[in-house]
Structure 1
Amino acid sequence: MLIVRLIADPAGLETRIKNLRAAWDDKGWSSRIERDAGAMVELRVSSWDVAEVRVTIDERIGPSDGLVTAIPPVTPRLFISDMDSTMIGQECIDELADYAGIKPQIAAITERAMQGELDFEAALRERVGLLCGLEEGAIAQCLHERITPNRGARIVVETLKAKGCKTVLVTGGFHHFADPVAAQIGFERVVGNRLEVSDGKLTGGLDGPVVDSSVKQSVLEEEMQALGARATSLAAGDGANDIPMLDAADIGVAYRAKPKARASANCWIDRGDLTSILILLGIATEDWAET
């Protein structure tokens, strides 16, 4: 039996829940409402087909934040998250490209990479190469003028930390951005790429190995091994590069995600802010960190 937790527009929600359960009845699945906590409705459905359950939710409920899991959710011991368009509202390389006057060109490559249409490393190296000659000072200017955390990011991180959760920011972006973003939001560890700089300008290359989807997954597995066999994990991301990490986590959160990433996750946030993660985990608002 699967546990389904949903946050949706309360207007007409009771009727939509009835329609959802009717759709499950048509498939031969029994269901019950476990609780209706106002902000969140929790149901049980006698199916193990997570993908099909999610399809019926999309059809009958509409835009929602939700979680479908076979295991009762608990506060995780590890929270690992992507940065760009997940913890922050921007794609850093696209915004940095604007200072070189080539944002549309780079943003088009970024979008295709996030959709899973391009090899991530090749796309990254191509975009970084186009920034060759840009003054290093543009990074700090971009960070100050353009980069902002998504609503609820710091509340989520600080709340989970207060409950004994290790927090890791892992990004296919760059330490020049990720280190200050992590400090602002509260992450304890940062894994990312490094832009190569010489004589105060970007060389168009990277300094060190590329952080790609396999590295994101391996960082999750490394942290989980250190925490022990009974630890649980929560991962968040939005693009194709996050899919292996989302798949490997006990709860994979697709935040305003591209279709392939959304389909791979068992938790999704399509309408609310990042604090929906805390609601779906069952963490009461009075236990949220003040920021």
Structure 2
Amino acid sequence: MLIARLIAEPEGLEKRLDAAAKALEDIGAPMASAAMLDACSDVLQILFAGEQDVQIRAVLDKHMAPCDLLMASSEIEIPRLFVSDMDSTMIGQECIDELADYAGLKSRIAEITERAMQGELDFPSALKDRVALLEGLEETAIELCLKEQISPVAGARTLVRTLQSKGCRTVLVTGGFHHFADPVAETIGFERVVGNRLAVADGKLTGALAGPVSDASTKARTLREEAEKLGEGARVLAMGDGANDIPMLEAADYGIAYRAKPKARAAADGWVENGDLTNVLKLLGIPRSEWVLA
């Protein structure tokens, strides 16, 4: 059995669903049923007898767009672990790009960041190159950057705190820096933070990292380690937007790409592109009456 849940524009929904149903029949993957969820009335759940997930997803993406989507091969449950990227996922910015603004290097560093997130550059090398460009920047610029430039995306606090109320452990794992991730995690409500550390000497950035690089393998390893603590059968949700999130997204039961780069979107089990992060709660079937609003 394959399950698809989606949040689509209500206008013309029936017509688009009919077109999708015909296209699915043409590829030998007919719908077994389609109905709105009782718990979340704006979520359409479609069941399939087959498991042609790639082809089915492509049809839904074409005919039901714009929509937010989650697909799973078994009944969708509330996860017991949520592991998320930070930059451009839980916050609306890339911290290193914003920090570079205080060194007059934002456009130069942002170009490298974009290529790394698209999967065009080796992430560890690209990270070290960008950090090196910040050598000599006053550490106080980080506090200013946090105050002036960094903010959670809409729905982030409600998503995290609602999942926690359901017994879900929450972990923020980033290719960014603890200088940013620690206060962001406190603001949003994450229980654990994994990330990189900027080396500082005499109140200035040295242009190096303190300790090993937190990269794609770190994210996937953190997810596996946390999942093992919960035992067999615990569902895991992961979320990210860039190429360095792909191993983590693929390792999760529910890997959701948030306004993601194409490679990350293709690797995920679904995506949120139109609504805010509370749409994840809807796709999981958690009614609004049970959300922890923040």
**Alignment map for 1:128-207 (pairs within 5 Å):** 128-207=131-210
Equivalent-residue separation in structure 2 for 1:49 and 1:273 (angstroms): 28
Q: How far 1:39 sits from its partner (Å)?
A: 1.1
Deviations 1:125-145 (A, max 9, x none): 000000000000000000000
Gaps spanning 5+ residues in structure 2: where?
none
Residue 117 of structure 1 aligns to a residue whose secondary structure is coil
- For the 8 Å contact 2:32–2:48, the answer to whether it is kept is yes
Which residue of structure 2 aligns with residue 211 of structure 1? 214
Q: Deviations over 1:234-255 (max 9, x none)?
A: 0000000000000000000100
Contact 2:158 2:293 in 1 (8 A): yes
Deviates more, 1:222-231 or 1:123-132: 222-231
Between the aligned partners of 1:109 and 1:265, the Cα distance in structure 2 is 24
Partner of 1:46: 49
* Aligned-partner Cα distance in 1 for 2:56–2:30: 12
Q: Which residue of 1 aligns with 2:27?
A: 27
| Cα distance per residue 1:196-243 (max 9 Å; x no partner) | 000000000000000000010000000011111121100000000000
CA shift, 1:267, in A, is 1.6
CA distance in 2, matches of 1:30, 1:105: 49
Deviation at 1:29, TM superposition (A): 2.1
- Amino acid aligned to 1:250: D
CA-to-partner distance for each residue in 1:110-152, whole Å, 9 max, x for gaps? 0000000000000000000000000000000000000000000
Q: Secondary structure at the match of 1:197?
A: strand
Summarize deviations over 1:83-130 as a string: whole Å, max 9, x none: 000000000000000000010000000000000000000000000000
Segment of structure 1 superposing worse, 58-67 or 202-211: 58-67
SS at match of 1:56: helix
Is the Cα contact below 8 Å between 1:33 and 1:41 reproduced in 2?
no
CA distance in 2, matches of 1:201, 1:66: 44
SS of equivalent to 1:10: coil
Q: How far apart are residue 51 of structure 1 and its match?
A: 1.3
- Residue of structure 1 equivalent to 2:272: 269
Q: Which of the residues 245, 253, 271 maps onto 2:248? A: 245
With structure 1 as the length reference, what TM-score do the two structures score? Answer: 0.98
Deviation at 1:26, TM superposition (A): 1.0
Do the aligned residues in 2 keep the contact of 1:216 with 1:242 (CA within 8 Å)?
A: yes
Residue 97 (str. 1) matches residue 100 (str. 2)? yes
Query: Are residue 67 (structure 1) and residue 70 (structure 2) matched?
Result: yes
What residue number does 1:16 align with? 16
Secondary structure of the corresponding residue to residue 88 of structure 2 = coil
**C-alpha separation in 2, matches of 1:273 and 1:26:** 33
**Separation of aligned partners in 1, 2:46 and 2:234:** 25
1:2 equivalent in alignment to 2:20: no
Greater shift, 37-46 or 79-88, is seen at 37-46
Asked if the contact 1:213–1:241 (Cα under 8 Å) also holds between the matched residues in 2, the reply is yes
Describe the SS at the equivalent of 1:208.
coil
CA contact (8 A) 2:29 2:52 kept: no
Paired letter, 1:141:
L
- How large is the Cα RMSD of the aligned pairs? 0.8
> Which segment is superposed worse, 32-41 or 52-61?
32-41
Q: Deviations over 1:60-87 (max 9, x none)?
A: 1112100111111111110000000000
Asked if the contact 1:82/1:237 (under 8 Å) is kept, the reply is: yes
SS at match of 2:194: strand
User: Which of 258, 261, 267 is the aligned partner of 2:261?
Assistant: 258
- State the SS of the aligned residue for 1:149: coil
Q: % of aligned pairs identical?
A: 59
